[in-house]
Structure 1
Amino acid sequence: MQTGDTLLVVLNNEQPSDLIEPMEGQLDVIYEDKYLLVVNKPPGLASLPAKARSSRTMANVVKYYLQSKEENSSIHLVTRLDRETSGLMVFAKNSYTHSLLDQILHSDDFKKYYLALVYGEVQPQNGLIDLPIGIDPKAFYLRSIDYKLGKESRTIYETVENYENDSMLKLKLLTGRTHQIRVHLSAIGHPIIGDEMYSLKKDPRINRQALHCYQLQIIHPVTKKLLKLTAPIPEDMVLLRSALKG
């Protein structure tokens, strides 16, 4: 090759896997182009089907949506959320875009911001939680702070609002560990309201952890334009926030 040469790259057609069954369902599309799809996931819906599950997940609904548009329906999940966490999720529309997004996923070109309602007033009000996370020895599906075997995990938090006994935090992930925000906030003594798994108590005011991925700032891997995408706070967290304000 020489400077000034023009290259044409033709991507092979992808064959969607049969492991994910297309299922009709409501899809809240926040952004879409021929390279990627960003959706607002409701609480109570898993990101991907588990081996033993055949219930509807975001991946099933997205596959149905892409098939209905006669587009490549191979599922390329770039970001995932816990079943009971709501908010923005990114799907790539081909393996090439998926690869480009993976390269910037934990860089300043791909910023993920969350809102969480937590127990107590966090002090200091802003800071960095830098605690390694590993698999909880008591249960494989749980995570815990593990200084010996845990992986580096860092979360930036900022207090948005203080209430009489609780707080709303804005959080930015610098790493992407399973249950990272939930484990980190629990570790500093301020678990997320409604997170029965890590707070060890049930809260009658909300039936899931009050955690929402509300904003993404992504340098588009192909067009190089800045995408600043937001998803409104879901109704259950709005109601909880009003209750906390009294």
Structure 2
Amino acid sequence: MDERRTLTVTQAGTLLPFLLEAVRDKSRNTVKGLLSRRQVLVDGRAVTRFDHPLSPGQTVTLLPRSAAGAWELPFPVLYEDAALLAVDKPAGLLSMGSDREKKRTAYRLAADYVKAREPGKRLFIVHRLDRDTSGVLLFAKDEGLKRRLQENWDRLVTRRAYVAVVEGAPPREEGEVRSFLRETGTHLVYSGAPGRDAREAVTRYRVLARSRGFSLVEVELDTGRKNQIRVHMKDLGCPVAGDRQYGAQSDPMGRLGLHAHALALTDPRSRRPLVLQAPWPEPFRRMFPGQG
């Protein structure tokens, strides 16, 4: 393909027959090549399956080969449709820009990815992860949808689950931590007394496995405060591995032992459940074989 083409589906069917009809000057093998090179988008999402089902009203976009190569991301896309994009952010990458780093952030890379495929399309970050935390990060391609998600976040989100590698072990196999979080002038978060500027935080945890002085813990958030898991694990006497800022003495994986592995929410457009999952990072699986 030498130029971008956008087609509208008029009747139900599957993708390959639709493409063969739409580009009659191309051979069957050439059309399959478009799919394998991720040059075919259905409602803005790359599709590689030739038997992908189509419904009337959907849009199919054919990208030039040069554009297809330009929008490969250096991290996995977990979900994408016409208005949402979820990625598996690696540890060490900022979610958004800062005074020191404005270019190489998850947001900037994802925005360039969207712009290369959909010229003029903007991207908006819905929530954030700490720089050293990996996992599910959600963006919206529409500002109105971004606002709906953010303004109704606590109502729409049904599950926020993390997996953490911690030093030692929590006092019980499962439990709940509830405290009021405050922040120092140097941006260190701590559990303090309730009152002005204190924000209640609730964390539930469950021990999944133990190995060589470390525990693998699944953590679910009832609230989403800054550094909440890291502070609450420190409060339990089992800081997150690699987290020197909050009391860790070791760094067995060469990274912070915290990964956002699941985000479940109700899509405000369709009212249907949307479950986003990021596979556990390889260092976690090496420390705890058979988990994840």
TM interval, shorter chain, is: 0.7 to 0.9
* Letter in structure 1 aligned against 2:285: V
Query: Would the aligned equivalents of 1:72 and 1:94 in 2 still touch at CA under 8 Å?
Result: no
Higher relative CO (Cα under 8 Å, sequence separation at least 6) belongs to 1
User: Which ranges of 4 or more aligned residues in structure 1 deviate by more than 6 Å?
Assistant: none
Looking at structure 2, the residues matched to 65 and 86 of structure 1 have their Cα atoms a distance apart, in angstroms, of 19
* Letter in structure 2 aligned against 1:86: S
Looking at structure 1, the residues matched to 245 and 219 of structure 2 have their Cα atoms a distance apart, in angstroms, of 20
Q: How many residues align?
A: 219
Match of 1:112 in 2: 160
Looking at structure 2, the residues matched to 71 and 119 of structure 1 have their Cα atoms a distance apart, in angstroms, of 47
Aligned-CA RMSD value: 2.2
Give the counterpart of 1:146 among 192, 197, 204: 192
Greater radius of gyration (CA): 2
Match of 2:265 in 1: 218
* Letter in structure 2 aligned against 1:230: Q
Query: Would the aligned equivalents of 2:181 and 2:191 in 1 still touch at CA under 8 Å?
Result: yes
Give the counterpart of 2:83 among 18, 35, 47: 35
Match of 1:69 in 2: 117
Query: Would the aligned equivalents of 2:230 and 2:240 in 1 still touch at CA under 8 Å?
Result: yes
Match of 2:139 in 1: 91
Encode CA deviations 1:125-181: one digit per residue, 9 max, x unaligned: 1111101111135x22x2111214421111111111133522111111111111110
Name stretches of at least 5 consecutive residues in structure 1 with no aligned partner.
1-22
Name stretches of at least 5 consecutive residues in structure 2 with no aligned partner.
1-70
- More strand per residue: 2
Looking at structure 1, the residues matched to 75 and 253 of structure 2 have their Cα atoms a distance apart, in angstroms, of 23
Match of 1:171 in 2: 219
Question: Identity across aligned pairs (percent)?
Answer: 30
Match of 1:233 in 2: 280
Q: Alpha-carbon deviation of 1:233?
A: 0.8
Match of 1:8 in 2: none
Looking at structure 2, the residues matched to 72 and 158 of structure 1 have their Cα atoms a distance apart, in angstroms, of 45
Query: Would the aligned equivalents of 1:159 and 1:169 in 2 still touch at CA under 8 Å?
Result: yes
Residues 72 and 30 of structure 1, relative CA distance in 2, 3 Å threshold: farther
Q: Alpha-carbon deviation of 1:183?
A: 0.8
- More helix per residue: 2
Looking at structure 2, the residues matched to 182 and 73 of structure 1 have their Cα atoms a distance apart, in angstroms, of 36
Looking at structure 2, the residues matched to 200 and 132 of structure 1 have their Cα atoms a distance apart, in angstroms, of 22
| SS of aligned partner of 1:100 | helix
* Letter in structure 1 aligned against 2:126: V
Looking at structure 1, the residues matched to 180 and 121 of structure 2 have their Cα atoms a distance apart, in angstroms, of 36
Q: Alpha-carbon deviation of 1:76?
A: 1.6
| SS of aligned partner of 1:152 | strand
Match of 2:106 in 1: 58
Residues 108 and 98 of structure 1, relative CA distance in 2, 3 Å threshold: closer
Q: Alpha-carbon deviation of 1:241?
A: 2.7
Structure 1, 43-52 or 142-151: larger mean CA deviation: 142-151
Residues 162 and 240 of structure 1, relative CA distance in 2, 3 Å threshold: closer
Is it true that 1:186 corresponds to 2:253 in the alignment? Answer: no
Structure 1, 56-65 or 101-110: larger mean CA deviation: 101-110
Q: TM-score, normalised by structure 2?
A: 0.69
Looking at structure 2, the residues matched to 108 and 25 of structure 1 have their Cα atoms a distance apart, in angstroms, of 28
Is it true that 1:157 corresponds to 2:208 in the alignment? Answer: no
Q: Alpha-carbon deviation of 1:71?
A: 5.2
| SS of aligned partner of 1:45 | coil
Q: Alpha-carbon deviation of 1:100?
A: 1.8
Query: Would the aligned equivalents of 1:133 and 1:150 in 2 still touch at CA under 8 Å?
Result: yes
* Letter in structure 1 aligned against 2:148: L
Structure 1, 224-233 or 180-189: larger mean CA deviation: 224-233
Q: Alpha-carbon deviation of 1:99?
A: 1.8
